[in-house]
Amino acid sequence: MTIYFNNGVYADKETMKVSIDDRGYYFGDGVYEVVKVYDGKLYTAQEHFTRFLQSARKIRLDLPYTIEEFTEIAKKLATDNGIVEGHVYIQATRGAAPRMHNFPGEDVEPMITAYAIQNPRPLSKMKEGVAVKTTDDIRWLRCDIKSLNLLGNVLAKQEAYESGCAEAVFVRDGIVTEGSSSNMFGVKDGILYTHPATNLILNGITRRVVLKLCAKHSIGVMEEPFTLEQFKEMDELFLTSTTSEITPIVSIDGNSVGDGAPGRVTERLQQVFEETIHELKMEIN
């Protein structure tokens, strides 16, 4: 039995119902978050729920819970579902109303759904690295919002999968922005490069952890746009996300990155990232 949360109610997934008129279903009119669970504990929950509320505000959606309340909901779902290693998914839509583009009346409540699921860490990909494929960034200009509207991301990921690649790399006007569900990093001469946190990317929580770790461990960072040509010439590449953590990229569009094996800086960052997980596991909560 999987326990889901739906607007204040915790119950078996099978008993839950969402309206056919839900605006998430009609328009993708909503926002979401994915929070990692290690050893039954939430990783960077505060950062995720802060971003969740920010995303909601950016689409003018008022949410009925605070960061602390969302954290409690996520904790309860992880505990009640017995999740040791996995993630919590949470989304909020603008609620259910007969289909019309403009917002429904004030009496329509947001629809908040959440669950926790077991999901082992992708350890072999993290060790061996993955292949990626570049594709046009056809998405809208508010990629900073973690919106449910993911059609551009879905099409890109599918294109990558069909070419035997684990991720798609978005390129907009010759500039590498991010992955279809991850942020992109390159290392050249020991310096880390990543797209700045503008409206063209989602400012990933894992991305922020990596940047903090770079500051702590004296790894130079350039948060500046770089071209696809520059990206392909980097010594090392990797991607980050809540579920992929730090995953090395060993090939891009069929060509090896560096010597075709995960790079030294990437592995060092994986190691110090691991220490943050260890610290979480040691925390008493």
Task: List contacts with ligand PDD (CB under 6 A).
Answer: 34, 153, 178, 181-183, 202, 204-207, 240-243
Shortest distance (Å) from residue 197 CB to ligand PDD: 11
The pair phi, psi for residue 59, each rounded to 5°, is -105, 15
What would the two tokens of residue 247 be?
Answer: 């995953």
Q: Give 81 or 206: the residue with its C-beta nearer to ligand PDD.
A: 206
* Separation CA 284–CA 100 (nearest Å): 48
* Separation CA 261–CA 274 (nearest Å): 20
The pair phi, psi for residue 215, each rounded to 5°, is -65, -45
* Separation CA 185–CA 188 (nearest Å): 10
> Which residue minimizes CB distance to ligand PDD?
204
Q: Which of 184, 186, 188 is nearest to 170 (CA)?
A: 184
Helix (H) and strand (E) counts in the chain:
8, 15
| HEC assignment per residue over 133-153 | EEEECCCCCCCCCCECCCHHH
Shortest distance (Å) from residue 6 CB to ligand PDD: 20
Residue type, 220: G
Shortest distance (Å) from residue 44 CB to ligand PDD: 8
Asked about 58 being catalytic, the answer comes back as: no
Q: Give 110 or 204: the residue with its C-beta nearer to ligand PDD.
A: 204
Shortest distance (Å) from residue 204 CB to ligand PDD: 3
Q: Give 23 or 207: the residue with its C-beta nearer to ligand PDD.
A: 207
The DSSP code for 177 is E
* Separation CA 24–CA 112 (nearest Å): 10
Q: Give 29 or 178: the residue with its C-beta nearer to ligand PDD.
A: 178
Residue of 41, 75, 146, 157 marked catalytic: 146
Shortest distance (Å) from residue 102 CB to ligand PDD: 27
Q: Which of 73, 69, 110 is nearest to 89 (CA)?
A: 73
Q: Give 81 or 181: the residue with its C-beta nearer to ligand PDD.
A: 181
Catalytic positions, please? 146
